[in-house]
Amino acid sequence: QKEVEQDPGPLSVPEGAIVSLNCTYSNSAFQYFMWYRQYSRKGPELLMYTYSSGNKEDGRFTAQVDKSSKYISLFIRDSQPSDSATYLCAMSASRGNNRLAFGKGNQVVVIP
Amino acid sequence: GAVVSQHPSWVICKSGTSVKIECRSLDFQATTMFWYRQFPKQSLMLMATSNEGSKATYEQGVEKDKFLINHASLTLSTLTVTSAHPEDSSFYICSASTLFVGGAGNEQFFGPGTRLTVL
């Protein structure tokens, strides 16, 4: 079983819809959770960073962590065509400059 | 803040030649830099982790003599693909990490990537 599972999609939604993405993980030591957005032929960009269970909101983005279920989610409200990208979840067990465990990435297409 | 650059953004080379890719943290000092490889529609594959002034730690299956990593300063790491072959063609991405105030030190900030094509 991979450490981090993420359905690669692709996921197509109409403009204005809510995009819901999620990852599950098996390592209960993971405490730090990140979501990255990657446009085609570009490096990933850090979108959200959380380290506790619950919700964190930043503009149209909400990151949700449920450590008891080993499940994290990213919601994008009022989706725009510019949100079309691949979204990767990543997680880490401890502080410091440690390697991240990445999901496969979920391709999202927002249709105008 | 937390900007990472890579140079070149793309390179085409002949089989057997060596290619050097630079990764720079522009507005912070990176205690650790990471090198990844990414194939089309695939996730990131970590190749190696490097700390300034010390030897890089390579992931299993990555040839250290083929992928030379030098982390000369807190703002610069280089990846040299030696004697490149067509199967080395890929998208190479670096990232940098440091302990910002209020952070946990494990956020990674990525460069824009370098597309390598070996003919």
Q: What is the pLDDT of residues A20-66, one digit of tens each?
A: 999 999 999 898 999 999 999 899 999 998 888 889 999 999 999 99
CA distance B90 to B35: 12
The predicted pLDDT at position A3 comes to 87
Q: Which residue of A has its CA nearest to B111?
A: A43
Summary mean pLDDT of chain B: 90
pLDDT at position B105 over 70:
no
Closest Cβ–Cβ partner in B44, B49, B106 for A102: B44
B3 touches chain A (CB under 8 A): no
The predicted pLDDT at position A88 comes to 95
**Cβ distance of B110 and A45 shorter than 8 Å:** yes
pLDDT at position B98 over 70:
yes
pLDDT at position A111 over 80:
yes
In this structure, the dihedral spanned by the alpha carbons of residues A61, A12, B110 and B9, taken in order and rounded to 10 degrees, is -140
The predicted pLDDT at position B104 comes to 61
**In which band, very low, low, confident or very high, does the pLDDT at B42 lie, cut at 50, 70 and 90?**
confident
**Cβ distance of B44 and A96 shorter than 8 Å:** no
DSSP assignment of A1-29 = --SEE-----EEEETTPPEEEEEEE--TT
**Cβ distance of B113 and A99 shorter than 8 Å:** no
CA distance B76 to B6: 10
The predicted pLDDT at position B88 comes to 95
The predicted pLDDT at position A93 comes to 86
Instruction: Give the pLDDT confidence of B43-83 residue by residue, as tens digits.
Output: 899 999 998 878 899 999 999 999 999 988 889 999 999 99
CA distance B47 to B37: 7
Closest Cβ–Cβ partner in B105, B110, B115 for A95: B105
The dihedrals phi and psi of B58, each to the nearest 5 degrees, come to -95, 145
The predicted pLDDT at position B48 comes to 94
